[in-house]
């Protein structure tokens, strides 16, 4: 997903995206990641797409079962409800990723004239960004 792209989905998906840490998982698109599943298996592969319910599509994935058997897939889809844990790469700064994803979603270059409601929203986002910045120091 490019920097200029906005999250597209149903209102429920948009709510999850803006009110959970789904933006962190979404920022992993195009990276090789390991995902642990609820049935004690795991998948390693290139994340191709993440939707608003944290369903993940992998490309060139390896599925490993509890007995240690490995199965290769060109494409693999995992339902979000089956995910137990997403391994965040060590070289990825979590705070800067969240800051980038939040700013990308709220500061649109084509933003219309601000109404009273959006001014309040912008003020709240700025407060949250200050809190995140203070955590980083």
Mean pLDDT, the chain, integer = 81
Tens of pLDDT, residue by residue over 18-59, are 778 888 898 899 999 999 999 999 999 999 999 888 999 999
CA-to-CA distance for 38 and 135, rounded, in angstroms? 32
pLDDT value for 44: 96
Instruction: Return the bridge partners of 62, or none.
Output: 44, 72
Tell which phi-psi region holds residue 47, choosing left (phi > 0), alpha (psi between -120 and 50) or beta.
Answer: beta
pLDDT score of 69 more than 60: yes
User: Residue 5: pLDDT band by 50, 70, 90 thresholds?
Assistant: very low
pLDDT value for 105: 56
**Listed residue (114, 92, 22) closest to 106, CA to CA:** 114
Tell which phi-psi region holds residue 19, choosing left (phi > 0), alpha (psi between -120 and 50) or beta.
Answer: alpha
pLDDT score of 2 more than 50: no
Domains and CATH numbers, the chain: 11-136 (2.30.30.100)
pTM of the prediction? 0.67
Q: Tally Cβ neighbours within 10 Å of residue 18.
A: 15
Tens of pLDDT, residue by residue over 94-127, are 888 878 877 765 544 544 544 555 777 777 777 7
Instruction: Please state, in angstroms and as integers, the Cα–Cα distance from residue 115 to each residue in 77, 112, 119, 122, following that order.
Output: 41, 9, 6, 10
């Amino acid at each position: 997903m490019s920097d200029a792209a906005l999250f597209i989905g149903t209102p429920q998906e948009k709510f999850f995206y803006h009110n959970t840490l789904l933006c962190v998982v979404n920022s992993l698109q195009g990276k090789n990641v390991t995902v642990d599943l609820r049935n004690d298996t795991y998948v390693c592969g290139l994340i191709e797409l993440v939707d608003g319910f944290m369903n993940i599509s992998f490309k060139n994935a390896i599925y490993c079962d509890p007995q240690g058997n490995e199965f290769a897939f060109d494409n693999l889809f995992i339902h979000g409800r089956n995910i137990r844990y997403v391994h965040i790469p060590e070289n990825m700064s979590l705070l800067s990723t969240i800051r980038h994803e939040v700013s990308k979603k709220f500061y649109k270059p084509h933003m219309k004239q601000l109404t009273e409601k959006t001014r309040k929203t912008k003020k709240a986002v700025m407060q949250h960004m200050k809190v995140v910045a203070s955590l980083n120091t």
